[in-house]
Amino acid sequence: MEKSNFIDYIRIFCRSGHGGPGSRHFMRTKYNAMAGPDGGDGGRGAHIILKGSSQLWTLLHLRYYKNVLAEDGESGSKNNSTGKFGKDIIIEVPLGTIARDEATGLKEAEILEDGQEVILVKGGRGGLGNSNFKTATNQAPEYAQPGEEGSEGWKLLELKVLADVGLVGFPNAGKSTLLSVITAAKPKIADYAFTTLVPQLGMVDYRDGKSFCIADLPGIIEGAAEGKGLGHRFLRHIERNSILLFLIPADCADHKKEFEILVNELKEYNAEMLQKDFVIAISKNDMLDDELRAAISKELPQKIPHIFISSITGQGLPELKDLLWKTLNAPPKDL
């Protein structure tokens, strides 16, 4: 089986650097062998940092980067010299990446902007040298702090695709074909279920240089919220989409039921998804006449905008772009 180049979930072991110990040193000069403490502080241990990159769209580059071990800080030295800090490790990740601690499950970082940096694992602080402990009553402190230990643990990196519009539909509903004709994306297209195994992104050129991002996502099957089919691997990618475009083929047996199944899977996975804007597109419009279109329109929810399109003939595609752009730029709904 061919390995996918799209990796949206990975587990890595991280260990930040230990802080360097402070120095226990006393100054000695030509004329004064006991000139006082001058031990410098230890250097900070290296951090492990996540950095957002708009040039990445997968976690593939981390597949073989399982152990991230950062440098320790160096020891302090004489003349109140601070030890060298450990060199921070920067891990570049695609926008939409979430980092969680495997042991607690808590979200520790979320990368949404290009160039954004978040410390995932902090390095240990360097210890204080003995010059910090000099007092009026203790002119020659023999004590210096050890460096603080770094942290370690398994981290889970999870990618949720960032797109304005997410294409939602059953396998083989025509999502890949639609994406290929309204964007420059070239998704794999074939006449069998689960052709799309990973999200495909494309930019839709609108008008006057405007554009928006649309994602063709792996198809839902009934029971996806319980992990059937591609299950949770698919559903987490639609959490970030502003609009969900439900694609229902004209030749399906029951258009209303198919829409309700799709909505129910979203609700079972995360009820907050029902707060997003919905648009319904009936594909394969070239197969329908006016009477059938009218009949299908009556089946569909009246409060959700719908449109008839054909990716083969191009019917309804300009109107679909207009509808999506209008929905994307509509003022927020009153709560």
- What are the tens digits of pLDDT across the range 220-270? 544 433 444 344 455 666 666 788 899 998 888 888 898 998 888 788 777
226 SS3 class: helix
Q: What average pLDDT does the segment 52-59 reach?
A: 84
Please determine, for residue 335, whether its predicted confidence score (pLDDT) is greater than 50: no
pLDDT, tens digit (0-9, with 9 covering 90-100), for 65-97: 889 999 999 999 988 999 999 999 999 998 889
Range of weakest confidence among 47-56, 59-68, 123-132, 316-325? 59-68
> CA 329 from chain center: how many Å?
24
- The b/e string for 23-54 (b: 16+ C-beta within 10 A; e otherwise) is bbbbbeeeeeeeeebbbbbbbbbbbbbbebbe
Q: What average pLDDT does the segment 183-195 reach?
A: 47
pLDDT at 193: 38
Residue that has been written with the tokens 């030890």 in this structure: 83
Name which of 2, 8, 3 is nearest 201 in CA terms.
Answer: 8
Q: What average pLDDT does the segment 176-193 reach?
A: 62
What sign for the dihedral angle of Cα 190, 174, 236, 122? positive
For the sheet containing 200-205, what is the strand order?
A: 200-205, 211-216, 165-168, 243-249, 277-283, 306-308
Please determine, for residue 190, whether its predicted confidence score (pLDDT) is greater than 70: no
200 SS3 class: strand
Name which of 154, 150, 153, 151 is nearest 72 in CA terms.
Answer: 150
pLDDT at 184: 62
pLDDT at 89: 96
More confident residue, 90 or 204: 90
- Mean pLDDT rounded to a whole number for the chain: 82
| CA 209/CA 192 separation, integer angstroms | 36
pLDDT, tens digit (0-9, with 9 covering 90-100), for 205-221: 888 878 888 877 765 54
Please determine, for residue 328, whether its predicted confidence score (pLDDT) is greater than 70: yes
Tell me which long-range contacts 138-146 makes (C-beta under 8 A, separation of at least 24).
Answer: 139/36, 140/26, 140/34, 140/36, 140/37, 141/37, 142/24, 143/24, 144/21, 144/22, 144/23, 144/24, 144/39, 144/76, 145/21, 145/22, 145/42, 146/21, 146/22
Confidence category of residue 333, pLDDT binned at 50, 70, 90: low
Please determine, for residue 111, whether its predicted confidence score (pLDDT) is greater than 50: yes
Give the CATH class of 1-159.
mainly beta
Percent of the chain with pLDDT over 90: 36
DSSP state of 274: G
187 SS3 class: coil
Rounded to a whole number of angstroms, the CA Rg of the chain reads 29
On whether the CB atoms of residues 73 and 147 are closer than 8 A, the answer is: yes
Q: What average pLDDT does the segment 106-120 reach?
A: 93
pLDDT at 287: 86
pLDDT at 223: 43
pLDDT at 237: 64
| Alpha-carbon separation of residue 81 from 66, 87, 129, 200 (angstroms) | 35, 18, 9, 53
| CA 241/CA 34 separation, integer angstroms | 69
Residue type, 253: A
- Give CATH for domain 165-328: 3.40.50.300
Please determine, for residue 9, whether its predicted confidence score (pLDDT) is greater than 90: no
Question: Residue 288, CB half-sphere, CA atoms under 13 Å: how many?
Answer: 22
pLDDT at 22: 94
Q: What average pLDDT does the segment 176-192 reach?
A: 63
Percent of the chain with pLDDT over 70: 83
pLDDT at 279: 93
Domain ranges (residues) in the chain: 1-159, 165-328
- Give the tokens for residue 35: 């000139």
pLDDT, tens digit (0-9, with 9 covering 90-100), for 137-182: 888 898 899 999 999 999 999 887 777 888 888 877 777 788 888 8
pLDDT at 153: 94
| Contact residues for 328 (Cβ-Cβ < 8 A; gap 6+) | 164, 165, 212, 242, 243
On whether the CB atoms of residues 250 and 256 are closer than 8 A, the answer is: no
| Contact residues for 19 (Cβ-Cβ < 8 A; gap 6+) | 42, 43, 44, 45, 72, 73, 123, 124, 125, 126, 127, 147, 148, 149, 150
| CA 174/CA 165 separation, integer angstroms | 16
Residue 92, beta-bridge partner list: 51
More confident residue, 162 or 9: 9
pLDDT at 11: 92
17 SS3 class: coil
